[in-house]
Amino acid sequence: MSERSVIYRLARIEIEHLLGLVDDLMTVIEDADESIDPAVERLVPSPYPDDVEATLEFSSATRDDLLDRRTADAAVVRRALLPLADEAVPGPPEADQVSVSIPQHDMDAWLRTLTALRLVIATRLGITDDDEHDAEDVRFGVYDWLAYRLDGLIAIADAMDEDPGPA
């Protein structure tokens, strides 16, 4: 029996932008050991913010694994998008829409990657709460676009959970 997949429609320009963001995320993670980056720290938060010793112990035990998982998740998204980025389809506006097939087993990687991207961008923009920024300020456009796309994926994932399909 084959695994279920969902079709996620994106505009070609969204694929290009998302690929660039995923590549940037992978670079941020690759460079994590070279400098102290608040965005990386937000990707690997400590459950002990008030206990420096416990934070260091937890970080030394889990940080590399968490960052490796984030890289692996981003690679899943990148592999799905990369072949679609080069397709040139002239024609009507609907030709600008591309169908991305996301196997059910890759859905969590997509959700974690879009969330990680939002965390990095929020850190760069100084956002600590979604209600803090002005939606009219163009600097927050990518952050809001990622929220829109993440909400769409969450709805798809929830629908898959509610209707697991044939057993």
Helical (H) or strand (E) element with 6? strand 5-11
**Residue 79, Cβ neighbours under 10 Å: how many?**
12
pLDDT given for residue 94 in this prediction: 53
Mean pLDDT score, 37-63: 82
Better-predicted residue by pLDDT, 141 or 116: 116
pLDDT given for residue 95 in this prediction: 61
Phi, psi for residue 44 in degrees, rounded to 5: -130, 65
The pLDDT tens digits of the residues spanning 66-95 come to: 999 999 999 999 999 998 886 655 555 556
Mean pLDDT score, 98-118: 94
Structure tokens at 157: 């994932």
**Distance between CA atoms of residues 78 and 111, nearest Å:** 13
> What letter represents residue 99's amino acid?
S
pTM for the model: 0.85
> What letter represents residue 139's amino acid?
R
Q: Is the pLDDT of residue 167 over 50?
A: no
